[in-house]
Amino acid sequence: MKKLFSGLCGLLLCQTATAAQPDTGALFEHRLPRLHSNETVDMRQFAGQPLLVVNTASFCGFTGQFEGLEALHQRYRDQGLKVVGFPSHDFRQEADDQAKTAEVCYVNFGVTFDMVAPIKVRGDDAHPIFKEIARQSGKAPRWNFYKYVIDREGRVTAVFSSLTKPEDEKLKTAIEAVL
């Protein structure tokens, strides 16, 4: 029995050691156009910060989650959390015009967290940030408003589907764990 226990402990240690290590370059070495702006969002500013990364869409049944995401941003920003929205047309629910996307985010929902110009979030053409998120978590977005909690070391620590509302206690607990 003692040998079995020792063997199981050794196996667990091996699995921990082979877990996907973060490629911080894949996450942070990018400058992306800010949504409907001539400015850029330099992802290097987020290195060492806890992040909530969300793939968004303006014309989705989950678009109302912008309100809850903004509430999370307001609640946790003074504790260091950075929320970053990545609009995507991968699920055919994003405007073709950045001005319309910006109107939905900034005017309709009062978003003040960083939003980048639309990118690809899944498949071979996915932006390197989302390729790294999928590599670490094993979960590429299956729909709009997937939420990825990333710790200060650039590790994806939790993934939440579109069905998880920003107000969900499990999401808040995952965020608080990386603050």
pLDDT digits (tens, 9 = 90+) for 24-82: 778 999 999 999 999 999 999 999 999 999 999 999 999 999 999 999 999 999 999 99
Whole-number Å distance between alpha carbons of 35 and 66 = 15
Q: What's the total number of domains in the chain?
A: 1
Mean pLDDT of 10-25: 52
Query: How would you class 50 by CB atoms within 10 Å of its CB: exposed for 0-12, middle for 13-18, buried for 19 or more?
Result: buried
Q: Specify if 122 maps to a domain.
A: yes
Q: Specify if 128 maps to a domain.
A: yes
- Look up 60 and say whether it is catalytic: yes
Domain ranges, residue 85: 23-178
Q: How confident is the model over 158-168, as pLDDT tens digits?
A: 999 999 999 99
pTM of the model: 0.88
